Amino acid sequence: GAVVSQHPSRVICKSGTSVKIECRSLDFQATTMFWYRQFPKQSLMLMATSNEGSKATYEQGVEKDKFLINHASLTLSTLTVTSAHPEDSSFYICSATHRQTLNYGYTFGSGTRLTVV
């Protein structure tokens, strides 16, 4: 089945540094990638949607200059948290869609737990 590989699974960084999270679709072309953030015991919250070769569309309240998303190829999307602060500590997860006729399946990465100290 479809697989999305997400790395790293855990990262601890110092406040003010940047962290890059990668999501790769291993056996299909991810036409659209979604990036979510999840706080403890809460639902996934959509941060942005990216289509290959286009600029990402950010949800209201998400700073596009802080959360840089790149989707340069059909198999790779990255999320960079710039100038990270402790309040950015969260679980980040990506999800990719792959078209199957009229149905759109979603494959999720395994998530990245970011801790900013």
Partner 1 sequence: KNEVEQSPQNLTAQEGEFITINCSYSVGISALHWLQQHPGGGIVSLFMLSSGKKKHGRLIATINIQEKHSSLHITASHPRDSAVYICAVGGSNYKLTFGKGTLLTVNP
- Both tokens of 110, joined, read 């395994």
Q: Applying CB under 8 A, which part among 18-26, 64-72, 80-88, 102-110 lies near partner 1?
A: 102-110
Phi first, then psi: what are they for 88, rounded to 5°? -85, -10
Q: How far is the CB of 103 from partner 1 (least distance, A)?
A: 7
Q: How far is the CB of 91 from partner 1 (least distance, A)?
A: 5
Q: How far is the CB of 17 from partner 1 (least distance, A)?
A: 22
* 55 DSSP assignment: P
Smaller CB separation from partner 1, 83 or 110: 110
Query: Per-residue string for binding with partner 1, 24-63, x by CB under 8 A?
Result: --------x-x---x---xxx-x--x--------------
Nearest to 93 by CA among 82, 104, 106: 106
Q: How far is the CB of 66 from partner 1 (least distance, A)?
A: 21
What Cα–Cα distance (Å) separates residue 1 from each residue in 4, 11, 36, 66, 85?
Answer: 10, 28, 22, 33, 37
